[in-house]
Structure 1
Amino acid sequence: MPLSWSSRLKIAKGTARGLAYLHECSPRKFIHGDIKPSNILLDNEFQPHISDFGLNKLMNITGCNPSSSSGFMGGALPYTNSVHPERSNSYRAPEARIPGSRPTQKWDVYSFGVVLLELLTGKSPELSSPTTSTSTEIQDLVKWVRKGFEEENPLSEMVDPLLLQEVHAKKEVLAVFHVALACTEGDPEIRPRMKTASENLERIGT
């Protein structure tokens, strides 16, 4: 079942609140380190619950690979139409892909921004586009959306076609796009804190 805009916005807000709590309110101001759709579980009312928190380190100690152990294709968010298995690296911030780099909360902010872009576009973080009749080019979702805004492409070319019927949500969709773009800035110093991202999302649709 495709998700309505109200359900997607509820998932975005709930996930942001959960991450903001981990970052700001928990005793040790934790870092999740592996935000992706298969680690965002939904109940019957589409209320999100962040899972796998703390399991990354445990799996690394025991020699398991967290990214291959979940077995999810599209994760707990049933809106993507990708045929590719979920890859943790697609959600990692650019600085997180450098060997030996130390985790920061801004890593989670970037990963959350990628999940937001999935909710908005209905696409996988890795886009496959045909270049010839026999080959395809893998594009980065973040770069694709940024290019679309820079070139001032119509919103209809980037948003999930299933949302185009909900005309009343256009302003809300655009506002969430701006939050997602802020979260996926290449420079971690420019990205907002999760608390700020959550507060900005809470203002949308109220």
Structure 2
Amino acid sequence: MRGRNGQTSTSLSWSIRLKIAKGATCGLAYLHECSPRKFVHRDVKPSNILIDNEFRPYIFDFGLNRLISITGNNPDSSSGGLPYKLIQTERTNSYRAPEARVLGNRVTQKWDVYSFGVVLLEMLTGKSSELSPTTSTSIEVPDLVRWVKKGFEEEKPLSDMVDPMLLQEVHAKKEVLAVFQVALACTEEDSENRPRMKTVSENLERIGT
């Protein structure tokens, strides 16, 4: 996430990061639930979330030119699916859901949920998902999602995973843990186990209130 004044998420306080996350997920939930065509963004990543001087987020670059024609008329209500299919391969990136990396898979709104979960993990850890976060004892970890999940499985201290800047805000620990749980739910391997974006938004809104 980058602001108009050049600030990145790692230079922002926890309260501001949480505000941006809530605003962004609210916008995505609107696209999924309230827009006439129940859109899938398909390219959710920090560079596509702009923030203004009031730290209000704006989501842009829908990338709809990378979708082909409609193949059906009934979206899958359980998975938020849309009747589109990919027509060409694209370079795999770390924000894309596992099933989105397979040519020909049906586009669903759960792709956006996964991508937003990765963005949340970046916000929490201060690490880029495009770089393999490694340590001398964990060089085999291939990406940010697996690194975080491995950390929780091994019950590592929160200080080993969270952005050091946030450790200065002692009051934020409970909220940080709650957002970690939301992000982990969003990045479930099986798309059926991921929440809808509306649920993600509702869960984030309850944090810090």
TM-score by length of 1: 0.80
Alignment of 1:29-108 (within 5 A): 29-53=38-62, 56-58=63-65, 89-108=93-112
Q: Secondary structure at the match of 1:127?
A: coil
Letter in 2 for 1:193: R
Match of 1:28 in 2: 37
Mapped pair 1:8 → 2:17:
yes
Match of 2:86 in 1: none
Mapped pair 1:142 → 2:110:
no
2:41/2:64 contact within 8 Å kept: no
Name structure 1 gaps, 5 residues minimum.
62-86
1:113/1:184 contact within 8 Å kept: yes
The 2-side partners of 1:205 and 1:130 are apart by: 32
The correspondence for 1:111, drawn from 107, 110, 115, is 115
Question: How has the CA–CA distance of structure 1 residues 60 and 25 changed in structure 2, closer, same or farther, with 3 Å as cutoff?
Answer: closer
The 1-side partners of 2:38 and 2:66 are apart by: 21
The 2-side partners of 1:158 and 1:10 are apart by: 21
2:44/2:115 contact within 8 Å kept: yes
Mapped pair 1:163 → 2:170:
no
Q: What are the superposed Cα offsets for residues 166-203 of structure 1, whole Å, 9 maximum, x if unpaired? A: 00000000000000000000000000000000000000
1:41/1:50 contact within 8 Å kept: yes
TM-score by length of 2: 0.79
Deviation at 1:131, TM superposition (A): 6.0
The 1-side partners of 2:93 and 2:100 are apart by: 9
Deviation at 1:139, TM superposition (A): 2.3
Deviation at 1:28, TM superposition (A): 1.0
Question: How has the CA–CA distance of structure 1 residues 14 and 37 changed in structure 2, closer, same or farther, with 3 Å as cutoff?
Answer: same
1:93/1:110 contact within 8 Å kept: yes
The 1-side partners of 2:46 and 2:92 are apart by: 10
Letter in 2 for 1:40: I
How many residue pairs get matched?
A: 176
Name structure 2 gaps, 5 residues minimum.
1-6, 69-90
The 2-side partners of 1:127 and 1:21 are apart by: 32
Q: Secondary structure at the match of 2:191?
A: coil
Q: What are the superposed Cα offsets for residues 10-55 of structure 1, whole Å, 9 maximum, x if unpaired? A: 11100100000000011111100000011001100111100102xx
Match of 1:179 in 2: 182
1:130/1:137 contact within 8 Å kept: no
2:92/2:101 contact within 8 Å kept: no
The 2-side partners of 1:99 and 1:60 are apart by: 12
Letter in 2 for 1:23: H
Counting aligned pairs with the same residue, the percent is: 75
Instruction: Please provide the CA RMSD for this pair.
Output: 2.0
Letter in 2 for 1:162: M
2:50/2:58 contact within 8 Å kept: yes
Match of 1:66 in 2: none
Mapped pair 1:127 → 2:132:
yes
Deviation at 1:127, TM superposition (A): 1.8
